Amino acid sequence: MPVRWAGMREKYKDEIEEILKQAGELAPAEECRAPSPNLWRLIGLYVRTALSGSLFSISPGRVMVSAVLILLAALIFGRMVPGIGGPLALAALLLFIVGYGWIFVKPPKIEKRWRGQLLDQEGDSWWSRFRHR
Q: pLDDT for 84-126, tens place per residue?
A: 888 999 999 999 999 999 888 876 677 777 777 777 655 566 6
Residues 121-133 have a mean pLDDT of 66
- Is residue 73 over pLDDT 70? yes
pLDDT for res 1? 46
- The CA–CA distances, whole Å, from 126 to 6, 122, 132, 133 equal 64, 11, 10, 11
- Is residue 67 over pLDDT 50? yes
Is the pTM above the cut of 0.85?
A: no
